[in-house]
Structure 1
Amino acid sequence: MIVAPSPVRCLGVDPGSLACGWAVVERFGSRMSLVEAGVIRNPRGADFDQRALHIHERLAEAIAAHHPGFMAVESPFVEKNAATALKLGQIRGGILLTAALHGLPVGDYNPMQVKKAVSGYGWADKSQVGKMVMTLLNLKEPLAADAADAAAVAIGHLLATRGLPAAPGRA
């Protein structure tokens, strides 16, 4: 008996405390499509703990609405400002906790891996990545930059794993 492949969904996340991109991408065989994407925006003056909570709540809503099988998160590039790096690390920790609370395995990818997976070139700029996301997902309109980055993370994970959950210890 031949079993038809079933679609798999990945929630891609591009962490940021002020603007956190997210995208749910579905893969069915060799085709990929965008389910939904957005940017979680926090006001500059908001307390940091409230920013982290807001991101957690919005991602939890996306998980509940779209039932991804796993999450892929972009790891930060080396940040020159220690305070900024610490805050981004804290936001990533909250995002990883959100995945764990929902039982989602996590894939962790650095920006160069994401760019190479989507565009074939690890040094691609944001506009090149955005155009490839549009092409790979057959979109008519471009996504907001942070949402496009999150979609690229999800696409990269789906290509790297062929739609299987992240290997233990990936994140």
Structure 2
Amino acid sequence: MQNKTDRLVIGIDPGLASTGWGIVLAAGNRLTHLGHGVIETSSKLDHQTRLVRIYESLVEVLDAWKPQEAGMETLYFAKNVTSALSVAEARGVVTLALGLRGLPLGEYSPNEIKQAVSGSGRSEKKIVQESVRLLLGLSSVPSPDHAADALAAAITRIHTVPLRY
């Protein structure tokens, strides 16, 4: 980072099978994509091991990039309760990793993220992904989807929380 008003933000899209992450630098009015990826866990592993892997892998990402703050999508209630519980547990592991590093966390509903990134809380996923591409000046939509969603959460954090310095 060049300036003390620059903000380095991590966005996270939590899930037990795949947790997306994305790093965005906000310098003035400019957003710069620095990196993104996914933390994947195999369904062949026991549940506890999968959560530990998410935690340990996220800690590696946090230590490598040293973000100052974070944005994450809130859990929406799905019809599949088992799936919702697994996502909630992954969110807990993510929240713990961020909290232990003292990172402020903004949590946003899917509609808030859509609104912040594309201008409409009712945008379809492809529109949001294309908006992420345009806002970050990328040549293609970030892949996989979980990483693109994480970048959208980081952008939402930047757009909704004023600079505090």
Instruction: Provide the TM-score with structure 2 as the length reference.
Output: 0.93
SS in 1 for 2:12: strand
CA contact (8 A) 2:118 2:127 kept: yes
Answering whether residue 73 of structure 2 is matched by residue 86 of structure 1, we say: no
TM-fit CA distance, 1:45: 1.5
Could you list the structure 1 runs, at least 4 aligned residues long, displaced by more than 6 angstroms after superposition. none
Q: Deviations over 1:13-69 (max 9, x none)?
A: 001100111001110000001111001111121111111111111211111111111
Q: Identify the residue that residue 149 of structure 1 maps to in structure 2.
A: 149
- The 10-residue stretch of structure 1 (38-47 or 128-137) with the greater mean CA deviation from structure 2: 38-47
Instruction: Provide the TM-score with structure 1 as the length reference.
Output: 0.90
Q: Identify the residue that residue 169 of structure 1 maps to in structure 2.
A: none
Q: Identify the residue that residue 28 of structure 1 maps to in structure 2.
A: 27
Q: Deviations over 1:81-102 (max 9, x none)?
A: 2222111111111100000111
TM-fit CA distance, 1:141: 2.3
- Counterparts of 1:4-153 in structure 2, within 5 Å, are 6-144=5-143, 145-153=145-153
* AA aligned opposite 2:51: A
SS in 2 for 1:143: coil
TM-fit CA distance, 1:162: 2.9
| Runs of 5+ consecutive residues of structure 1 not aligned to the other structure | 166-171
- The 10-residue stretch of structure 1 (57-66 or 22-31) with the greater mean CA deviation from structure 2: 57-66
Number of residue equivalences: 162
